[in-house]
Structure 1
Amino acid sequence: MKLTHFMPLDSLTHPLPFYFDSRAPNKPSRSHSLYINSHFPFLPFQLINDTLVHLISFLPLSLSLTMQVLKSATKMQAATPPPPLNQLNNMRPYEMVHHLASSNAVVIFSTSYSCMSSVAERFLISLGVGPTLVELDQQPDRSAIWSVLYDLAGSDHQPVPAVFVGGKFLGGLETLMANHLNGTLVPLLKEAGALWL
């Protein structure tokens, strides 16, 4: 019996290797599925098994590539990153805000230290939306972007989080929650293409 040696998904933290039986290359053992299920309990067991069957069919690929595919397939991306800054550097702040808002279904302008921004992001994620996050404290022209957001939010409102849906300024966390409670948020998200169902 010839065994092919594979390193585990978390090879740095878990020293046990994977072994696939070369006589049945398209059939993972139950222990492999249980191992992955223990590391990714939120995935259905059948999905893990089906994914392993699919990946084992690509045995000629290098191990690291195969295992990275499985690992990246199980990572849940909370939010999509904004476009590279070099595309936006030539734009004025208003144009940059408008471009980001109109080219993404949902955008949240936030700061890394704003708890209200985190709540808005997590709330949208809980609805099934992957918002694009723009953290102002990491932008080179943050003060100019702040002034644009202040103009949009009004002088008596906090400018972050600034939520844009379908290219239009929705508001901050209070407006986001108010729209959810009155039943208008989900239709807005569907119209913007942020929700499929």
Structure 2
Amino acid sequence: MDRVEELARKNAAVIFTKSSCCMCHSIKTLFYDLGASPAIHELDKDARGREMEWALRRIGCNPSVPAVFVGGKFVGSAKDVITSHVDGSLKQMLIAARAIWF
């Protein structure tokens, strides 16, 4: 859990993914389209990936990826991120965290 929290705090936007996950790809593309450059941590390519995946599940991320943090705070998985994007709050979170500028 400490590793996940540490990585989430290091950048304005952080996405935990798996390289074979199509929803992970979609969420990364959404962030890039909004002008953000999130830190991407692919759990299937990290030696401690399994441990981080369990930590993400413990904080309520189910499925475990994609798991999105903005400004060090857990936003949620794909459904939560898409909901936030549709209602406009994702862009505001990214601006507040200085992940994008307008």
The one-letter amino acid paired with 1:101 is: A
The alignment's TM-score, normalised by the length of structure 1, stands at 0.50
Residue 153 of structure 1 and its aligned partner are, at CA, apart by: 2.3
Aligned to 2:11: 104
For 1:65-104, what aligned pairs fall within 5 Å after superposition? Answer: 94-104=1-11
In the alignment, the residues of structure 1 paired with residue 97 and residue 29 of structure 2 have an alpha-carbon distance, to the nearest angstrom, of 19
Match among 63, 68, 75 for residue 158 of structure 1: 63
**2:39 counterpart of 1:132:** yes
Structure 2 unaligned residues grouped into runs of 5+:
none
Aligned to 1:196: 101
In the alignment, the residues of structure 2 paired with residue 159 and residue 143 of structure 1 have an alpha-carbon distance, to the nearest angstrom, of 10
In the alignment, the residues of structure 2 paired with residue 167 and residue 125 of structure 1 have an alpha-carbon distance, to the nearest angstrom, of 18
Structure number with larger C-alpha Rg? 1
The alignment's TM-score, normalised by the length of structure 2, stands at 0.95
**2:89 counterpart of 1:184:** yes
Residue 137 of structure 1 and its aligned partner are, at CA, apart by: 0.7
Relative contact order (C-alpha < 8 Å, sep 6+): which is higher? 2
How many residues end up aligned between the 2 structures?
Answer: 102
In the alignment, the residues of structure 2 paired with residue 150 and residue 132 of structure 1 have an alpha-carbon distance, to the nearest angstrom, of 20
Moved over 4 A (4+): none
For 1:34-49, what aligned pairs fall within 5 Å after superposition? Answer: none
Aligned to 1:123: 30
**1:136-186: per-residue Cα shift (whole Å, max 9, x none)?**
0111122211110101125xx201000000000100111111011112111
Residue 114 of structure 1 and its aligned partner are, at CA, apart by: 0.5
Structure 1 unaligned residues grouped into runs of 5+:
1-93
In the alignment, the residues of structure 1 paired with residue 48 and residue 6 of structure 2 have an alpha-carbon distance, to the nearest angstrom, of 15
The one-letter amino acid paired with 1:142 is: G
Percent identity over paired residues: 35
Match among 148, 153, 157 for residue 55 of structure 2: 148
